[in-house]
Chains A and B, each alone.
Chain A
Amino acid sequence: GNSVTQMEGPVTLSEEAFLTINCTYTATGYPSLFWYVQYPGEGLQLLLKATKADDKGSNKGFEATYRKETTSFHLEKGSVQVSDSAVYFCALSPIKAAGNKLTFGGGTRVLVKP
């Protein structure tokens, strides 16, 4: 079946540090890949996505590249802010998914200290 594995947190950083959250997946074919972010007390919201190999998704200074050869979609940001403190979820949507079914990873909590 489909699965998403992401690094366990929490990840604690200082402001302006470089952030990387690893995400690898297992799926049949070439799924679409997503990063969702959950700020404290809120629901998830889409951060970025990539729909085919070598695509780079980007938003709010975050980037992730769809690597078919390593089945990975690592999230990066060059200089984090306190406001980036949140839980980040990697997810995939198989090509032949029932509806818009997303398979989520376990989430990575990021805490940015001033």
Chain B
Amino acid sequence: EAQVTQNPRYLITVTGKKLTVTCSQNMNHEYMSWYRQDPGLGLRQIYYSMNVEVTDKGDVPEGYKVSRKEKRNFPLILESPSPNQTSLYFCASSFRSGPNTGELFFGEGSRLTVL
């Protein structure tokens, strides 16, 4: 089954404690991205990756890091989480080009609370 898998789905942590949210896709997509969803703001892009070892900042990258060592995985790293990073996070992937550009496949989301 084609899917994007995120872990953990739910996490409560404290300020300053490093955490990683993993994301894996099994569709051989070149493009992967992280979004955060906040009430009334829709989804905002944090980071994206066009392919292995190629990453770039989205609209709200402050406080986050990413890496793309393998095509299927795109972890999101919060080195020192703060309460304003409490949010619902989504990983998404797609083919990089062609007629289906823009058709993102989303994971089920990871709800993060930073106390």
- A contact residues vs B (CB 8 Å cutoff): 4, 8, 32, 34, 36, 41-46, 49, 89, 91, 93, 98-102, 104-107
Decide: B108 and A105 in contact? CB cutoff 8 A. no
Distance in Å: Cβ of B40 to nearest Cβ of chain A: 5
Contacts of B43 in A (CB 8 A): 44, 89, 102, 104
By secondary structure, the B interface counts as strand
Q: Taking beta carbons and an 8 Å cutoff, which residues of B are in contact with A?
A: 4, 31, 33, 40-45, 48-50, 56, 58, 90, 92, 94, 96, 101-109
Closest 10 CB pairs of A and B: A43-B106, A104-B42, A93-B102, A104-B43, A106-B42, A44-B106, A43-B108, A100-B94, A100-B31, A99-B48
Which of B33, B40, B106 touches A45 (beta carbons < 8 Å)? Answer: B106
Knowing A49-B103, A98-B56 touch, does A44 contact B42 (C-beta < 8 A)?
no
| Measured CA separation A43–B107 after assembly (Å) | 5
In the bound complex, what is the Cα–Cα distance between A101 and B86 (angstroms)? 23
Q: Which of A34, A36, A42, A102 has the most CB of B within 10 A?
A: A102
- What are 14 A-B pairs at a CB distance below 8 A? A32-B101, A42-B108, A42-B109, A44-B106, A45-B105, A89-B43, A91-B102, A93-B101, A99-B31, A99-B49, A101-B33, A102-B102, A106-B41, A107-B42
